[in-house]
Structure 1
Amino acid sequence: MSLSDRCVIAGVGNTAYTRGTERTTLDLHLEASLKALADAGLTTDDVDAVYPSAVAGRHAEEFVMNLGLRNLRYATTVHLGGASLIASVLNACMAITSGIATCALIPAGRRGYSGERVSTGQIVPEGVMDSTTEFERPLGNLVAVQWFAQAAMRHMYEYGTTSEQLGHVAVNSRANANMNPNALMHGRPMTLDDHQISRMISSPLRLLDCSLESDGAGALVVTSAERAQDLDTVPVRIAGVAEAHSYPSTSLSQKPTIAQVPSLTEASARAFEMAGITVRDLDCLQIHEGFTWYVLAALEAIGVVAPGEGGPFVEEGHIALGGTLPVNTHGGSLSEGHVSGINHVIEGVRQLRGDVEPERQVADCEHVGVIVEGNFFEGSALVLRK
């Protein structure tokens, strides 16, 4: 039995995205969750399933208690790094369609700037990536920017991709963020020259190739399409959703390829098939991008362009608003904020509702794709539609 269109995102909510806060991750999750429930016209008493963020999983019980979730039937935490979010949406759809639950709450985000920093390696819990810790970190392969720098370098070697092409991804995200008042980089324009003179972090990735470690959170409310008919909201249908896994999942040196992301090809193909569409039916695409190169890799993996053609595609302006396929219309992790990819799903919902600023609204938006990668090449894909 297909899950397509049987569940909806009935509510979304988010905090402000900042770089510096004294608030706890728990507090941020609570605020976003209450906003999402209010958006759906529901209360905490309606929630009977919850998926606390894996990154902040240590506060799962505190989250349930402090939010006052008294009617839970199901609770679990999914750990696929950034891909945990869409995997949680898939899990929620299965729980709801099977009758285990009726209304699921999915919070995500963290104190990524003021608390545990990805750049320090602190965010990876002990035991999650032991193979990398034991065999690769002693050689200096310590943090995410180094992993993705090697992938970007391999892509350059195999396909002739350039730093300037990566820069066009960053410039596009910043242009969109400047039309989004909630973006961290709102009011801070950027040129390709700015990108090219930004300092090198891990060759070939420069400072402006890297996402913004941010403090903030978002939340989704998922329920059945049937129940949503009784809500005073504009529900967005979950048309297709899938996850896929690379092997070996956490090791850089043992992967068959690092210039491509096969798990995204698999996940997106299954999500598109479930939704009954092809990639050509997408009106915009939200890609959770820790680094600029990942946008090229995702465009290639899901079939927008052939392998190696992502660089020229972005260089020619196809991902801009008004282009062939607008990408990260909110500014993405590069310029709105890095909050575990939940802002990309929220942006997709708001694009379909027509709830974004007019200057960045995608015309006649019917289908939105959301692509989220986690750990190192765990893939997930979500198709939303009106």
Structure 2
Amino acid sequence: MRYSVLGPTQVHTADGRPVALGGARLRALLTALALRADRAVPVATLVAEVWPDDPPADEIAALQALVGRLRRVLGREAVASGPGGYRLVAAVDDVDARRFERLAGEGVRALDTGDQAQAARLLDEALGLWRGPAVADLPDRTAEAARWEARRLDARRARFRAALALGEAASVLPELAALCASHPLDEPLQALRIRALRATGRAAEALASYESFRRALADSLGTDPSAELRALHAELLAQEPAAPAPVSVKAPVPPPAVRPGNLRARLTSFVGRDQDIARLQEDLRGSRLVTLLGPGGAGKTRLSQEAAERAADAGAAWPDGVWLAELAPVTDPDAVPETVLGAVGARETVLRGAGAEGLRTTDEPLGRLVEHCASRRLLVILDNCEHVVGAAAELVDVLLARCPGVT
């Protein structure tokens, strides 16, 4: 069995078939056991996590009955019992959260030893396991979810470090900017954004970003940036303009056009699924809204990006690029428009339009997003949106209605 708790709790057989789970209590019990896979969990701990606010009168009997229901779903041998409590019989890699920990740890170690390509591969695989908010089915999930979100943020920081080392600053900058906006006092993230801006030749923006962060630290915490970040600031101030390139007697070869968008460069080849790719490309040619469904881990993210990239290479009508909006870290549906706005590189844009009362400024994120996209032809991929599907659907409805060049 494969157990998934980085998002709504799910179970799949070894060959990928989903296993139907019961109600909220059963999913909470499975989540609590899966987080401690192959370790005995005391009865008191399980009762506290399944019934945090209203424990049953006979806790032991109620838990025994719930364990019995879980065994009927998973098989009796899947949940062992003993003096120490109940234990989910599963290997570490059978639980997505534990697999994430292993892959992320290996990725960070690879990064520290200078193997950036291996680090990127491992970290991408780790981060790809997330399907939504962690431990979503625990009734009182705040503390546990915060721990897992902190580990995820560590992995994302490491992935950005690998991207910068691999020369991918331009492709990750929109995602990095959006993450910095949601963590305005996270100095490692802000430093990564400043480095990415410098690497893409945007030194003035890098200096402005440093100054904005310095003021935020002073206003919120009464402190200054670290010595490391101040040193980076000094490097930016001392940076000299690049010397002009020597004149060549030969006609220069024009550089390849840089396609707008924020899709990351692929570190591995994409083998197989040609029929799926062809079907998706056909759908994209004929429809402005295409939805890809499937269980967690089926490869929807990679398939969607591969199909979009190939369609763009084949001359599809998106001259303004292909943009990926990653919604997995979004926990508040109201934050969906702001996240997509940052993903398409429009967060800092000042937008104006003529209304009934003349010139006005649009400050509301969805309005800013519409004005940014209204005159553009682009493809937007909304990835991992099932946990905020209502807000995502409303956003899509508005974009399709008011932005005729958006797919």
| TM class, shorter-length | under 0.3
Higher relative contact order by CA 8 Å / sep ≥ 6: 1 or 2?
1
TM (norm. structure 2) is 0.25
Higher strand share: 1
- The structure that has the greater radius of gyration is 2
